[in-house]
Structure 1
Amino acid sequence: MSSKITDIYLRYLDEKASRAELDTLFQYFEEASQEDLEALIELGFNNQPQTVRDLEIDASLNRVHTRLLAYQGSSKPRVMRWRTVGFSIAASILIIFGIFHFLTKPKLQDLKDVNPPTASLLIKDAKGTTYSVTDQKDSVWTTENIIYQLVDSQTLRLSLAKNSVKPVEQTFYTERSDFKFVLEDGSTITLNAHSSLKLPIPFDSKERKVELVGEGYFDIAHDASRPFKVWASNNLIEVLGTQFNIRNYPEDQAVTTSLIKGSIALSEHGGTERIILSPGQKAISDASGINVLGSGTKQATAWTTRYFAYEDGELSTILSDLGRWYNVDIDTQSTPAEKRIYMKINKDKKLSEVLKLLGATSNLSFTLVDGKIHTDTTGLEKY
């Protein structure tokens, strides 16, 4: 870490940094390692008066977040225009994560807690039999001419025992954790928690078609003679070879498709509209139709790198994601509508740690009672 960055950061905390210095600082936040960020934030706290260092988490976070919103030129979070404010948003996420780490280190308590999940995957075969992959005694087994190889605790490779066999339909279900698949054509698909993927093995000679419920990240092997198609509710996503993410949880009441690389075409069942996405774009399909937004792919794929990450994310969406990951229920009646959050935290944390950060970021309180998360409940131990 250079002395220049240190000086700019201290000027930022004193509200004396220029716009050019802020741009430099936020660029550094985007590229720096977690260790460098933690060292910088700790330096900032050590240079503040004792009264500032002793502030509660929510006060400190609100102070930083307010400054960042002021830097963006708005007192309210913006839904779009990420291209112009990307660095400030990235910085807000990283600063919030860092401040939480240092302020809560001596204060964390194991109340009624939930540990992060261990990997689990269920397979439903063509006969309707369901079994657990992670319960298999051997790392390699064969069923109906399909070879299953458990590469590691969260990766399953699929291949054929014989060529030109009749396709066998398989459905894969993730429970609390994510799981990665390497398909027989070389494509890879990663499923998020509480998701399912239905596909034939092997694929048809003319197309490769799968059905997704939940969320999946796709890295598709190029094959011009066999386009890859994903059905997600009422939406059809067609590709030749590309990287993209699809979020299709029923409670979202929308299908969100984010394109990282290549090109994909989107259409709705029975509709005549066909939309082509370019890298960096995402499309949200709901009852009103398909809407294309300018960016959002980095946040959309953060879950594949073991992070919960939200840029102006709805609180209800965040709580739903936590519910799936930690296998807890959500008291939707107590969740404030239209509450939006900036947050990033590792998915391997205990639920209590995630709720502490979420509470500090949102200026709300959360409780976990009988396996259900409640928002702003009084008279109980709060995170």
Structure 2
Amino acid sequence: MDNERLQYLLVRVRSSSCSEEEMAELNEWYEQLDDGPEQLKDWIEEAGGKEKLVDQLYANFSKKIAKPRNRSVASITRLSVAATIAFLLGAALLYYKFQNESIPDRSGMAQSKIQSDTNISKLTLADGTKINLDDAAIGELYHKDGLSISKTDSNSLTYRSTVALKPVTDPKMQFNTLDIPRGGQYKISLPDGTKIWMNSASTLRFPVTSNGRDRLVSLTGEGYFEVAHNKELPFKVITGDQQIKVLGTHFNVKGYPDEKLISTTLLEGSVRVSRYSSGESKLMIPGQQANLFQNSSHIALTKANINQVVAWKNGYFTFDNESIENIMNTISRWYNVDVVYVGKQSGERFGGSFSRKSDLAEILHNLEELGNLRFRIKEQKVIVSGTSEQ
């Protein structure tokens, strides 16, 4: 798609006049953006420069948040793929525009810009050896008994097996553990070709030997999986009260201990989700999300908002009709801050998308504009209060 056509379609999206055919065309372009924010930045420069687009998109964003709200839901947009594009561009452009400017003093936020550039992650080997991945140099970290572990870039780990794995009995199984703290993110490639992206505050326990029956991993937190197909060795993921069984597929699992929900979202292939406590299991198809709530014994299948689910992997926060508590849970994990609530919250719900490279104060400023909330950053804490408590 040439730049002139793309600019035309973005204008159509901004003005809510895009036809279904034009939305489909824009979706197709968006799906081809495999290189994320850097490719987006290149296109911005080619499409006429960021200054013009910043002014247009920021003006549109300001109009949206300034509109009187006659309902309790403050939402920027229903975040379908094409509808999200204009906002993603706006968020990315706002980051480029404001990254070298000071934030105005609002609720004490100007004096504390907590950035999200701390990726401190740890790998624990089967023998108990711990490797600080943040300090480790790029290159081979470990090589023994035909297994090689290499750090391929600042946030990626690759396992390779130079010999065929012979099945061992369960007592002799060996596991490695990858711990990703708050503020971190990592990608790991396993010897079978499976790729896993780990979100903040997550832990993955995975085998480095084979039992000849399956490939069983345990996840706490959130991970996106691209599982290599092997019908002889099904891939299984245990998260809390849930087990996922797959042969080869792409899916996202989110199950943080401090949340009352485990959600599995299927993008490609098929998986079977089972609940240990009730014995219930359901087969999923692409586009579905399986939800396991603590206060229910059933597995609920719903239609998934794919773009919202995998936004973290692509470098964004995307919220759609979310409570401030859910939003702040996500923010606290990425920016490595604790959240304190003062007074009773309004119950408002929010929608929007922001780059994960954005300054925390700028995100909180935008949330203030959208609802009856105020934020104050004090050391490693974000204090949330309603406007009536100010």
The TM-score range, normalised by the shorter chain, is 0.7 to 0.9
In structure 1, distance between residues paired with 2:302 and 2:333:
26
In the alignment, is residue 179 of structure 1 matched against residue 186 of structure 2? yes
Q: 1:41 to 1:266 in 2, by over 3 A?
A: same
The aligned amino acid for 1:157 is: T
Q: Which residue of 2 aligns with 1:292?
A: 301
Q: Which moved more, 1:204-213 or 1:136-145?
A: 136-145
Q: What SS is found at the alignment partner of 1:251?
A: coil
Aligned residues between the structures? 353
CA contact (8 A) 1:42 1:102 kept: no
| Structure 1 residue 62 displacement after superposition | 2.2
Structure 1: any 5+ residue segments left out of the alignment? Answer: 46-52, 67-73
Contact 2:346 2:386 in 1 (8 A): no
TM-score, normalisation: structure 2:
0.77
Q: Which 10-residue stretch deviates more, 277-286 or 90-99? A: 90-99
d(CA) in 1 for partners of 2:201, 2:159? 21
Task: Say if 2:227 and 2:247, in contact at 8 Å, map to a contact too.
Answer: yes
Indicate the residue corresponding to 1:206 in structure 2: 213
Query: How far 1:373 sits from its partner (Å)?
Result: 0.7
Q: Residue 138 and residue 244 in structure 1: after superposition, are their counterparts in 2 closer, same or farther (change >3 A)?
A: closer
Over 3 Å counting, the alpha-carbon distance change for 1:261 and 1:111 in structure 2 is same
1:361 aligns with 2:367: no
Q: Per-residue deviation at 1:127?
A: 3.6
Note the alpha carbon deviations across 1:18-72, whole angstroms, 9 max, x for none: xx55767866875576736964562477xxxxxxx6x9x8x63324696xxxxxx
CA contact (8 A) 1:170 1:200 kept: yes
Correspondence list, 1:219-368, <5 A: 219-287=226-294, 288=296, 289-332=298-341, 336=345, 338-368=347-377
Pick closer, same or farther for the CA change 1:349–1:101 going to 2, 3 Å. Answer: closer
Structure 1 counterpart of 2:224: 217
**Distance 1:142-1:103 versus aligned 2 partners, 3 A rule:** closer
Q: Is the 8 A contact 1:187 1:220 kept in 2?
A: yes
Counterpart CA distance in 2 for 1:135 and 1:142 is 15
Quickly say closer, same or farther: Cα 1:313–1:172, change in 2 above 3 A.
Answer: same
- Where does residue 71 of structure 1 map in the other structure? none
1:332 is displaced (CA, Å) by 4.1
C-alpha distance in 2, partners of 1:27/1:87?
9
> What is the alpha-carbon distance in structure 2 between the residues aligned to residue 63 and residue 367 of structure 1?
22
Once the two structures are superposed, residues 323-380 of structure 1 have per-residue CA deviations (whole angstroms, 9 ceiling, x without a partner) of: 1111110114557364322121111222222222332333522111131111137799
Q: Quick check: 1:130 aligned with 2:139? A: no
State how far apart, in whole Å, the 1-side matches of 2:86 and 2:57 are. 15
Partner of 2:37: none
Report SS of the residue matched to 1:114. Answer: coil
Retained in 1: the 8 A contact 2:138–2:152?
Answer: no
Shift of 1:310: 1.3
Separation in 1, partners of 2:371, 2:283: 36
Judge conservation of contact 1:139–1:150 (CA < 8 Å) in 2. yes
SS of match in other structure, 1:331: strand
Amino acid in structure 1 at the alignment position of 2:103: L
Structure 1 Cα separation of the partners of residues 131 and 343 of structure 2? 37
Cα distance per residue 1:100-148 (max 9 Å; x no partner): 6699676625521111223332122334443312323562132653321
Q: What is the DSSP-based 3-state SS (H/G/I as helix, E as strand, rest coil) of the residue aligned with 1:376?
A: strand
Verify: 1:155 aligned to 2:150, yes or no.
no
Preserved contact between residue 123 and residue 132 of structure 2 (Cα < 8 Å): yes
Task: Supply the RMSD in Å over aligned alpha carbons.
Answer: 3.7
Report the Cα distance in structure 1 between the residues aligned to 2:237 and 2:260, rounded to whole angstroms.
18
* Matching residue's letter, 1:296: N
1:97 aligns with 2:129: no
Of the structure 1 ranges 283-292 and 348-357, higher mean CA displacement relative to structure 2 is found in 348-357
Q: Match for 2:103 among 97, 108, 112? A: 108
1:59-70 correspondence runs (5 A): 60-63=63-66
CA distance in 1, matches of 2:311, 2:57: 27
**8 A contact 2:341–2:385 mirrored in 1:** no
Residue identity opposite 1:340 in structure 2 = R
Q: TM-score, normalised by structure 1?
A: 0.78
Give the conservation status (yes or no) of the 8 Å contact 1:123–1:170: yes
In structure 2, relative to structure 1, the CA distance for the partners of 1:98 and 1:225 (3 Å cut) is closer
More helix by share: 1
How far did 1:263 drift?
0.3
- Provide the identity percentage: 22
Pick closer, same or farther for the CA change 1:88–1:75 going to 2, 3 Å: farther
SS of the counterpart of 2:258? helix
Q: 1:252-274 CA distances to partner (integer Å, 9 max, x unpaired)?
A: 21101010100000110042321
CA contact (8 A) 2:287 2:306 kept: yes
Specify which structure has the bigger relative contact order, considering alpha-carbon pairs within 8 angstroms and separated by 6 or more residues: 2
User: How has the CA–CA distance of structure 1 residues 189 and 101 changed in structure 2, closer, same or farther, with 3 Å as cutoff?
Assistant: closer
Q: Bigger CA drift: 270-279 or 255-264?
A: 270-279
